[in-house]
Amino acid sequence: MTIPFSFEVYPPRKPEHQAALHETIQKLATAGPDFITVTYGANGSSRDASLDCLRFIREHTDVAPLAHVTCVGSTRDEMNALIDEFLAADIRMFLALRGDPPEGADPQSDYLGDVKTAAELVHLIRERGDNDLSIAVAAFPNGHPMSTSPSSDIDILLAKQAAGAEFAITQLFFNATDYLSFLSSARAAGVTIPILPGIMPVTSLSRLRHIVEITGERMPRDLEAALEAAPSPAHARTVGVAQAVELCRQLVAGGAPGLHLYAFNEHETVLEVLAQLNEPA
């Protein structure tokens, strides 16, 4: 199965983890992804580490680095300076995100910043850069945690598209129908940009429960039961990879334009998913 794919990593939480992440990035790069994204901590908490990781991808691989950028809680001048810093490092791809509200802020407030939405951030990045930039945005097949309705999620995606977004990457999900139904509704509403499904192979019960807790996604009961019944970590890994492979097959069959794999800073699992996808059916 030949289809475009990409990966996501996050900056090392401790300096001693940097060498391992660099090795993972190089292993991921050898698979030939379209790009590798690097996450950006809330309110810029991982700014320097994110930029270091992006520079490593730029300087030590042939893969395009894509920078996550969040705007909530920031002034326009701060955002301009941040974008200029990324551009100076020859970063040409961005994922424009609103981000979480500052700690202690009322989530219904003005977020204490000048650039309040991802659509505004897309426009700002366009203003700072040139025609060579590529800007992605987030999409939420099962709704953003603060969404008021499914239609509002699509309206927001339309606004991001109108601001200049070229493609979207979804939050992770566990059922192909979640993505395919969202894609159908988005297309009917006028969204024309590619929407890449975000897939995270989950290889342990504890990780599954943590992911569900932090994302608000519905617990996939079949996967939960299979991971709980696995007699060893190796068996659990086999379960998680198999679930991700089957999900990817259904998505591609349903018209997904590519696959975005959340690597969780580990190369073995996502590369195994790709290897199995490329095996004859």
217 carries an active-site annotation: no
Task: Give the pair of three-digit tokens for residue 219.
Answer: 């617990």
Half-sphere exposure of 19 (CA within 13 A, CB side): 1
Choosing from 8, 120, 217, 272, the catalytic residue is 8
Question: Using a CB cutoff of 8 Å and minimum separation of 24, what contacts does 211-220 make?
Answer: 211/172, 215/171, 215/172, 216/145, 217/142, 217/171, 217/172, 217/173, 217/174, 218/142, 218/174, 220/174, 220/175
b/e map 29-42, b = 16+ CB within 10 Å:
beeebebbbbbbbe
Closest CA relative to residue 95, chosen from 51, 115, 65? 65
Annotated catalytic sites, by residue? Answer: 8
